[in-house]
Structure 1
Amino acid sequence: MIVAVLGASGNAGSEITRELARRGHVVRAIARNPDRIPTGDGITPVAGDAHDPATLADRLTGVDAVISALHFDVTADTLLTALRTAGVGRLLVTGGAASLEVASGQRLIDSPDFPPAWRDIAMGGIAFLEALRGVDDIDWTFFSPAAMIEPGPRTGQYRLGTDTLVTDNAGVSRISFADYAIAMVDELEAHRHPRARFTAAY
């Protein structure tokens, strides 16, 4: 596939870019600072600011799918407008874990130990997901990570979930950026969660 990665210079975006190229996809890697984008066969670095839907649409024209690894200061409306203008029908989003359930009816963000400093950023992700849930003309998928996503090895191992936080036997929810990227590209290829949210963790 020809895949555009938005935020391709960040931790998640750069790993997703590498994973796509590793599997033979053609990657249009878009970031405000293209000099920070990973290099390699199949990767074309492109300068672009996702806050401008008209400019972004120009960068997306001709791709089969878009994977967004952007922060949530870029709204769902901005991103969807750009996809519609470019004629792209598939969107996968690097989401947040805050809206995952940790108990029946209780989200991670509602937990008493959820860090207050992360709350505003987390609410942006929740708003983005809610906006996507009303969309039926774009084939979207929202990928909520584990509670902790961090540098680490590429093992190729993970467990899937939908709306509930996935934890290990010790109650810890974590995944490396490299394995997060594997799960994202697996979803791109297998298309298991159309117009839905999923999660993955060890």
Structure 2
Amino acid sequence: MHIAIVGATGNVGKRITAEALARGHHVTAISRNPDNSGDNEQLRSVHGDAHKPMALAQSLAGHGAVVSAVMFLQSDPAQLVDAVRASGVKRYLAVGGAGSLEVAPGRLNIDEPDFPAFAKAEAARGKAFLDYLREVRDLDWTFLSPSSIFTAGKRTGVFRLGKDALLTGADGKSWISYEDYAVALLDEIERPQHIRERFTVGY
């Protein structure tokens, strides 16, 4: 498959790119500062700006799926969705956040007293992004939320999937590595199970 990744040079974007390439897909890595040093027949790095939807749409055209892995504070859901629409691509996946997950029925993670203050602005924008997507009917979108702790680690391929509830392990820790998150995202691209839905991944 040909996959376009917006924000491909970020922490998550790099892992998604690597996982896609390892599975034999062709990747267009889109970022404001593209790195062409590792380009090969499967990888093409191009410049793109999430705030310039019409120009971005030209880079997205012709792909089987688009992934956005950009910070919520550095993007606008309407502009990204407009770019995907204009490109003609129907499959759109967004790297989500954990703030909008429920810790109990009707209680969001972002509203918990121990939710990190430094992460609240990004998390609030992530919730707004998801709310926006839930009104989109003309794209086959998916929003994949990580667990609370989202960090570099190992690719194990062993994790759990959920829907709208925060996943917590037996040790009380809620986390997922960038590497295993990328596995879950590519699994969803290859075998769609969550069309116009949010789901989550954790250990």
Superposed, 1:167-182 pairs within 5 Å as 167-182=168-183
Shift in CA distance, 88/169, structure 1 to aligned 2, threshold 3 Å: same
Partners of 1:145 and 1:198 in 2: CA distance: 9
Q: Secondary structure at the match of 1:156?
A: coil
Contact 1:5 1:69 in 2 (8 A): yes
Gaps of 5+ in 2: none
- Following TM superposition, by how much is the alpha carbon of 1:49 offset from its aligned partner in structure 2, in angstroms? 1.1
After superposition, what is the alpha-carbon deviation per residue over 1:84-106, rounded to whole angstroms, capped at 9, x for unaligned?
Answer: 11111110000100010111211
Aligned to 2:110: 109
Contact 1:21 1:41 in 2 (8 A): no
Aligned to 1:140: 141
Aligned to 2:28: 28
2:30 counterpart letter in structure 1:
I
Contact 1:17 1:38 in 2 (8 A): no
- Following TM superposition, by how much is the alpha carbon of 1:168 offset from its aligned partner in structure 2, in angstroms? 0.5
Partners of 2:105 and 2:48 in 1: CA distance: 41
- Following TM superposition, by how much is the alpha carbon of 1:118 offset from its aligned partner in structure 2, in angstroms? 1.1
Q: Secondary structure at the match of 1:169?
A: coil
Contact 2:36 2:44 in 1 (8 A): no
- Following TM superposition, by how much is the alpha carbon of 1:39 offset from its aligned partner in structure 2, in angstroms? 4.5
1:54 counterpart letter in structure 2:
M
Contact 1:21 1:40 in 2 (8 A): no
Shift in CA distance, 12/23, structure 1 to aligned 2, threshold 3 Å: same
- Following TM superposition, by how much is the alpha carbon of 1:61 offset from its aligned partner in structure 2, in angstroms? 1.1
- Following TM superposition, by how much is the alpha carbon of 1:113 offset from its aligned partner in structure 2, in angstroms? 0.5
Aligned to 2:5: 5
Partners of 1:143 and 1:40 in 2: CA distance: 28
Shift in CA distance, 199/38, structure 1 to aligned 2, threshold 3 Å: farther
Shift in CA distance, 40/152, structure 1 to aligned 2, threshold 3 Å: farther
- Does 2:65 match 1:81? no
Partners of 2:130 and 2:38 in 1: CA distance: 28
Partners of 1:201 and 1:41 in 2: CA distance: 33
Superposed, 1:117-156 pairs within 5 Å as 117-156=118-157
Q: Secondary structure at the match of 1:21?
A: helix
- Scaled by the length of structure 1, the TM-score of the pair is 0.97
Two-structure CA RMSD over aligned residues (Å): 1.2
- Following TM superposition, by how much is the alpha carbon of 1:71 offset from its aligned partner in structure 2, in angstroms? 1.1
Q: Secondary structure at the match of 1:46?
A: strand
- Following TM superposition, by how much is the alpha carbon of 1:52 offset from its aligned partner in structure 2, in angstroms? 0.3
- Following TM superposition, by how much is the alpha carbon of 1:38 offset from its aligned partner in structure 2, in angstroms? 5.6
2:52 counterpart letter in structure 1:
D
Q: Secondary structure at the match of 1:34?
A: coil
The structure 1 segments of at least 4 consecutive aligned residues displaced by more than 3 Å after TM superposition are 36-41
Q: Secondary structure at the match of 2:35?
A: helix
Identity of aligned residues (%): 49
Contact 1:99 1:126 in 2 (8 A): yes
Partners of 1:128 and 1:190 in 2: CA distance: 24
Contact 1:57 1:85 in 2 (8 A): yes
1:123 counterpart letter in structure 2:
A
- Scaled by the length of structure 2, the TM-score of the pair is 0.96
Partners of 1:85 and 1:32 in 2: CA distance: 20
